[in-house]
Amino acid sequence: MRYTGMVSRAALAAALLLAGTGMAAADDHLLVQRIAAGTGPVLDPDAGLWQQATPLTVALQAQMIATPVNAEPAVSALTVRAVHDGLWLTFQLRWDDPTKSDTIDLDRFGDQAAVELPVKAYDANNPPNPMMGDADQPVTIMQWRAALQRDQEQGEPKLPDIYPNAHIDFYTGDLLKPEEARAYTGAVGLGNPVSRVGKSPVLDQMAAGFGSLTVKPQQRAGAKGVWADGHWTVVIARPMKTDGEFDPKLAPGDGSVAAFAVWEGGKDETGSRKAWSDWVPLSLEK
């Protein structure tokens, strides 16, 4: 029954593709500009080179297939620029957001943004499903999270930081040995990557259809976001070639596609409640 539901959703997604909503218009083309070799990932969102990269306005739409749906997403468009140095592919995303949301608790969510790339070489006659790919055409999804960046820069928040009126008798780690306390630490004890501060505020993930999103065992992506004057500017970068089975392999001169998603935490957007784009054609400058 679960498999049947996935097929039904995939069929609906395919219908949307055939209706013309699965691929951006031909004029919506993002030139990935070549920069000096060896420059590496440009993780500064305000670096001067971004002013030289050609911007593209990408329309975002409501997520209406996977429940819970998001009929009226807070963000309707974002501006995308992209560069590469032959080794690293780097995107700069910029969108309006009146509130900076980088703390998570029971009823507060963080701002997020993601870039999706097909794992296999792109075939215009058989494009992958932009909604997390499928079993035959998996995708890579690099998801930046404002909360992860805050924790990385300021340290993991303590319970009193989020709930100042909370009273704490003791922590299990204060009384038990580490191996005994692990059972009481929830997601942290299970090794959930979202529950620990990592080296980067972006999760390098893979997916092969609805409900299959998985954090990769090797994290290769990097990112940094800056919020100022009512908008976010976020940079997300990844190596163009790796030995990872679920990593894209790209080279100067290649053509491919990318899709984008944005979550505004201040509007209770999280999980499937997001704004997303169709595939946008990419051209990696030689």
Strand partners, 284: 32
pLDDT in tens, the chain (286 residues): 333 333 333 344 444 443 334 444 435 899 999 999 989 899 999 999 999 999 999 999 999 988 899 999 999 999 999 999 999 999 999 999 999 999 888 888 999 999 999 999 998 888 899 999 999 999 999 999 999 999 989 887 777 877 888 888 877 888 888 888 888 888 777 777 777 667 899 999 999 998 899 999 999 999 999 999 999 999 999 999 999 999 999 999 999 999 999 999 999 999 999 999 999 999 999 9
Q: Which two tokens stand for residue 145?
A: 């999270």
CATH number for region 28-156+197-284: 2.60.40.1190
> Counting Cβ atoms within 10 Å, is residue 213 exposed (0-12), middle (13-18) or buried (19+)?
middle
Residue of 51, 45, 132, 129 lying closest to 93 (CA atoms): 45
Structural domain spans, the chain: 28-156+197-284, 158-187
Is the distance from CB of 227 to CB of 255 less than 8 angstroms? no
Q: Model-level pTM greater than 0.75?
A: yes
The number of beta carbons lying within 10 Å of the beta carbon of residue 38 is 9
Q: Which two tokens stand for residue 115?
A: 């870039």
Q: Give pLDDT, residue 114.
A: 98
Q: Give pLDDT, residue 27.
A: 53
Q: Give pLDDT, residue 17.
A: 40
Residue 199 identity = K
Start-to-end CA span in the chain (Å): 48
